[in-house]
Amino acid sequence: MSVFNRETFTRILSAIITLPILVYVLTTDDFLSLPVLVATVIISLFCLYEFYMMADRGEDGYPFIKAGLIFGFILNVLMYIFAYGKLLGLSGTIALYDARIITAYFMVFIATVLLLQLFTRPLKGAAYSLGVTLFGVFYIVLSLSHLILLKSLKDGPFYIIIAVAVVMLNDTGAYFGGSAFGKHKAGIAASPNKSWEGYFTGLLFSIIAFILTNQIFISFFGRELFSMIECVFLGILLSIMANIGDLIESAIKRDGGFKDSGRIIPGHGGMWDVFDATIFALPFFYYYLVFKGIP
């Protein structure tokens, strides 16, 4: 069966239209790099809202949507201030208080949802309601806020381009590889139709994407960001993390009986359907760079 059907065409067309806009917004230094904050807020809150909709179990528990969205927005703003404090003219000592501020933020968030549960909801489903509200912000918003942190690093815009390219080509390789060659099912309950051939094709595409983007950087700037060994290692790492992110969303969708997280993006579904793999890959990429000593 041909892999080039109407759905495939729609997916490709949507990517062609939206990807250049997304990359520009995430990488531009204009307007004190505020576009990356705006884009991250939009992406993360849409993903969070879609998760909350899928997590609604009615009388058995449902998330505190407004509280989650408000605190998700605040978290993105805090990350932007931490990353660009000096650029904004704030005290250079703000980094000293990063841990205290973020700890205080989470304590206030936790206290808020606890109070909402105690005074506005019945006891039934309390643990579920509290759990999904907190999990959504911790997993989705906190992870995606690493776009802001990644952008703030030296050569940050190019790191974002690399991350987007690797995750996108991992998904593309897995889709076409699985459709064209998939014969051996991976046997993962969250995504039973995925094949080992698809996963290995995605892995190969990820490594190629990492090598090519690194070579493009060398061609333009005359220096390399990563050695060849690092390109292979990070290509494998991001591919694995991207697949885990995809499986996490698939598990949650299957648990709620959903095919897609939403319908906002033609051919792809919801915002979380597009960024599910990115959510898990970004933090690992960012902290690798931090431990490597990238300023």
* Residue 265 bridge partners (DSSP): 269
Residue 16 lies in a domain: yes
Mean local confidence (pLDDT), 65-78: 97
Q: Under a CB-based contact definition with an 8 Å cutoff, are residues 36 and 151 in contact? A: yes
The tokens for 17 are 């239209």
Helix, strand or coil, per DSSP, at residue 278: helix
pLDDT at 21 over 70: yes
Lowest-pLDDT choice from 85-99, 143-157, 223-237 = 85-99
Q: Is residue 1 included in any domain, yes or no?
A: no
Q: Is 4 helix (H, G, I), strand (E, B) or coil?
A: coil
pLDDT digits (tens, 9 = 90+) for 252-295: 999 988 888 888 776 668 899 989 999 999 999 999 999 999 97
Asked whether the beta carbons of 112 and 44 are under 8 A apart, the reply is no
Asked, for residue 73, whether it belongs to a domain, the answer is yes
Confidence at 209, pLDDT banded by 50, 70, 90: very high
Of all residues in the chain, the percent with pLDDT exceeding 90 is 61
32 has a pLDDT exceeding 80: no
- Mean pLDDT, residues 181-202: 88
Give per-residue pLDDT as tens, 96-117: 557 788 889 999 999 999 999 9
pLDDT of residue 85: 74
Alpha-helix residue ranges (DSSP H) falling in 55-155? 65-84, 98-120, 126-135, 142-144, 146-152
Residue 4 pLDDT > 90: no
Whether 285 is in a domain gets the answer: yes
The residue among 227, 180, 236 whose CA lies nearest residue 208 is: 236
SS3 236: helix
Domain of 182 in residue numbering reads as 6-292
Mean pLDDT of 239-253: 94
Backbone angles phi, psi at 50, to 5 degrees: -65, -40
Looking at the domain assignment, is residue 255 inside a domain? yes
pLDDT at 184 (0 to 100): 83
Q: Once rounded to an integer, what is the mean pLDDT over residues 66-70?
A: 98
Q: Is the pLDDT of residue 232 over 80?
A: yes
pLDDT mean over 65-94: 82
Decide if 34 is inside a domain: yes
Domain count, the chain: 1
Mean pLDDT on 174-185: 82
Residue burial 145-178, b: 16+ Cβ < 10 Å; e: rest? bbbbbbbbbebbbbbbbbbbbbbbbbbbbbbbbb
In this prediction, residue 1 carries a pLDDT of 45
pTM given for the model: 0.89
Residue 31: what residue type? Answer: F
